[in-house]
Chains A and B, each alone.
Chain A
Amino acid sequence: MFQQLYPLIPQSVILRSDEEVRPYECDGLSVYTERPGVVIIPNTLEEVKTIIRFCHTYQIPLVTRGAGTSLSGGALPRKDGILLSLAKFNRIIKIDPINRTARLEPGVRNLAITQAVTQYGLYYAPDPSSQIACTIGGNVAENAGGVHCLKYGLTVHNILELKVLTIEGDWLTIGSQAWDTPGYDLLALITGSEGLLGVIMEVTVKLLPKPEQTCVLLAAFHKVTMASVAVANIIAAGIIPAGLEMMDNAAIQAAEDFVRVGYPVKAAAILLCELDGHRDEIDKQLKQVSTLLESAGAYEIRLAQNEQQRLQFWAGRKAAFPAVGRISPDYYCMDGTIPRRHLSEVLQRISELSQQYGLAVANVFHAGDGNLHPLILFDANRKGELQRAEEFGGKILELCVEVGGTITGEHGVGIEKLNQMCIQFNTAELTQFHGIKSAFDSAGLLNPGKAIPTLHRCAELGAMHVHHGQLRLPELERF
């Protein structure tokens, strides 16, 4: 199928054998695997263009891959398609400290941006937990977030310009080095489009001056409700913390067992509240926040006394996922967002579902912006557990939609949440999404089968849900 392509590009950029392509069979969501038809790791823009034009001419599916850290299967390859790795495009093209921007190739790692601009007193704000590995191209494709979104926004708020190759192999310049551009906001449309609209080949990001000072408070609560009241009160008081994170008891214990940073392991919930700015501002806010935490019922409040302690407070939170990975053979990370006022109710129902499915769950929560990450613990080697975990996860997402939230806050739909898309969006809305796709890629070659479910799939799923509450195939056991 790909024979005609091989003479057009250097042999050294083509991976064909089983051993060579195996590492590309999945991304960060390893429960889905597929052998890619061929993996290509081009060195030059000309090679990329040749590959894209080839796909267009011969109608071959094209999946673009950055670091492969997607948690939703966004970079899952196709056996009938080409997997295009942009790993070699890892150059920082230009840093402009005066305009506070950086022009980057898509394969530059997120953390490498901040490392490269720190000498100018600047940093790049979005910090997804995979920032040590994930790349800016993937960050744009997924509209990546992180722990500082509440104050500093998502990827969409922190980029200025993209250079994109269309499936026809034409260049689009989207956005500009100015603050706005004529026409539609295609910068927003491409950001988070999960590789379905174009191949991102260059990104200009905005940089921020490093705050004068940063400090972190850790507060422990006997009840989750108290912690969520504290969050609401802090925000209602007009304070926008740089980060505001919550962990429940299961997550606290797992993290403490793993990194030993002295978390209060008996707490039902802890809050981490990071404040940044200039000294006087922080002094004032620290007093305010401490009072608010106390009045919400915090039984212990700690202030990180120095940078080392600040990093320690964060270490537990940042290690939450691998920590849970230590106590359970597998875990499944969900990513719903809810209006914060429903937090207690949602956590209560997650705990009920946990009992119903017989699977434990640990919760970490970007409390400031309502983004919830329940981690479902399971063992894929035990028959039926994966399926149960997936079903449990699906129920959590449906719950998020029910309370006015969304099925994915920052991880993307990918291959994983297609069914839940049918619940969040109706036929007309999904049709509009497909219309957008066809304006960019009428043959549907770019990352096919991801992000937006077909109407057929939703119809089948709908048929399963209705029938007077009776499921199809009633003989199957469902938990």
Chain B
Amino acid sequence: MAYPLIGSRFDMSSDISAQLQESVQTAMTQSVPLKIVGGQSKAFYGRAMEGQILSIAGHQGIISYEPSELVITARAGTPLQEISQTLAAQGQCLAFDPPHFGETATWGGTIACGLSGPARPYQGAARDFVLGVKCLNGKGEILRFGGQVMKNVAGYDVSRLMVGALGTLGVLLEISCKVLPLPAEEITLVKPMTSEKEALAQMIFWGNQTVPLTASCFDGEKLLFRLGGIAIQPAQQKIPAEVWNEGNLFWIELREQRLPFFTAAGPPLWRLSVPPTTPPLELSEEKQLIEWGGALRWLRSDLPAETIRAIVAQVGGHATLFRGGDRTSEVFHPLANELEKLHRRLKEQFDPRLILNPRRMAMNW
């Protein structure tokens, strides 16, 4: 069954691309910096910046969704909730499990931030599922890249380049994304554990088996696994841990950062992305929460950025000042010199006047 392409629910009145285009063109002519906003649910993320507000929230609607094609296309201002619910009604989901960080989260903001949830190491990241985008570059031109098909190698992969670019290369107007079936069965397993080393070893071990893991977490007190798929019971029996019937809520709280680890008052939240088999980091005094099979370590710490980054860089990872702290500093791990120059050149090719979310990602552009 095709989803209605054009109907009363998704009428054309929610297409404001012409106004958005005009705003960008005007801003370009006058060299006015624009601050692109959707639902403001991720306003905390990235560097603080000033600019004239360009709201995409009114650019709404699911444009096409055909469950048997495994593809959904929606305008950037469409609430993420609407997308998730529409997919769930057909037994499908966004397999990268994106965090909402608030009810107002939009489809465009989700892709522009490029964040993925607990399922990421097992099912893929936001960038793995994006198939195509329609966007406005900094010259106010409406451009389409990619499409609605799984395999497409015509031209450079600009669609994926936009994922996580924080709007600095273009204003996202529409995004097409691959979707997957919801797992037929899902179960959470829990085991009390206090040793970080042991927890990491377990995550790696089970990650290398053919058990259908879809999430893993260690919070300092317990180790948790989520299994998902078809006929998962035999796999579940292999892992020596207890079934936790309310476990599914835990993963949502983890993804949305509503666990006490995240909500407690205290030092800024750092996101450390490291190779999964990295042993416990030399930050033992600081409080950590580990997910992604060891590849993602959340840290609450007042240590200087240089200290944290030096430790993480040594193991081949990078550190992001995720929430709190000095938002005018380089919140993202500084790039190597050659890469930094290349980023700057790419930015200029998409946005020659540097008007799209300038300095949201890096201090100099």
Contact = CB atoms under 8 A, between A and B. Distances in A.
Given A212-B210, A278-B234, A285-B230, A406 B143 contact: no
Most chain B C-beta atoms within 10 Å of own C-beta, residue among A153, A185, A417, A433: A185
A212 B64 CA distance: 37
A339 B231 contact: no
Given A99-B276, A370-B150, A438-B349, A240 B342 contact: no
B152 A408 contact: yes
A479 interface: no
Interface in A124-166: 142-143, 145, 149-150, 153-154, 156-157, 166
| Interface hub of B124, B152, B180, B235 (most chain A Cβ within 10 A) | B152
26 contacts: A171-B338, A177-B275, A178-B295, A179-B120, A179-B295, A180-B273, A181-B273, A182-B335, A184-B165, A188-B163, A209-B209, A235-B69, A238-B181, A240-B181, A278-B235, A281-B212, A281-B232, A285-B230, A369-B149, A404-B148, A411-B153, A425-B155, A429-B145, A429-B155, A440-B342, A452-B155
A233 interface: yes
Nearest to A427: B141
Given A179-B273, A180-B273, A278-B231, A417 B154 contact: yes
Interface stretch (A189-197, A253-261, A323-331): A189-197
B149 A178 contact: no
Contacts of A425: 144, 154-155
B333 interface: yes
Interface in B147-181: 147-158, 160-161, 163-165, 169, 180-181
Contacts of A277: 210, 212, 229-230
B32 interface: no
B70 interface: yes
Contact of A157 (B67, B124, B212, B343): B124
Q: Contact size class for B?
A: 35 or more
A381 interface: no
A284 B230 contact: yes
A180 to B, nearest CB: 5
A262 interface: no
Contacts of A193: 156-157
A412 interface: yes
Interface of B: 2, 66-71, 91-92, 114, 120-121, 124-125, 127-128, 137, 141-145, 147-158, 160-161, 163-165, 169, 180-182, 184, 204, 208-210, 212, 229-235, 273-277, 292, 295-296, 316-318, 320, 332-336, 338-339, 342-343, 345-346, 348-350, 361-362
Contacts of B164: 180, 184-185
Contacts of A338: 149
Contacts of B184: 238
Interface of A: 96-100, 142-143, 145, 149-150, 153-154, 156-157, 166, 170-174, 176-186, 188-189, 191-193, 197, 209-212, 232-233, 235-236, 238-240, 277-281, 283-285, 337-341, 366, 369-371, 404-413, 417, 421, 424-425, 428-429, 432-433, 435-436, 438-440, 451-452
A295 B73 CA distance: 30
A254 B166 CA distance: 51
A407 B154 CA distance: 7
A191 B142 CA distance: 24
Nearest to A413: B154
Contacts of B229: 277, 281
B230 A180 contact: no
A181 B361 CA distance: 13
A184 B346 contact: yes
Given A369-B150, A409-B149, A436-B349, A278 B275 contact: no
B345 A439 contact: yes
Given A156-B160, A192-B156, A281-B230, A183 B69 contact: no
A154 B230 contact: no
A1 to B, nearest CB: 29
A192 B155 CA distance: 8
Contacts of A370: 69, 149-151
A406 B317 CA distance: 36
A406 B147 CA distance: 7
Most B CB within 10 A of own CB, among A176, A232, A339, A404? A339
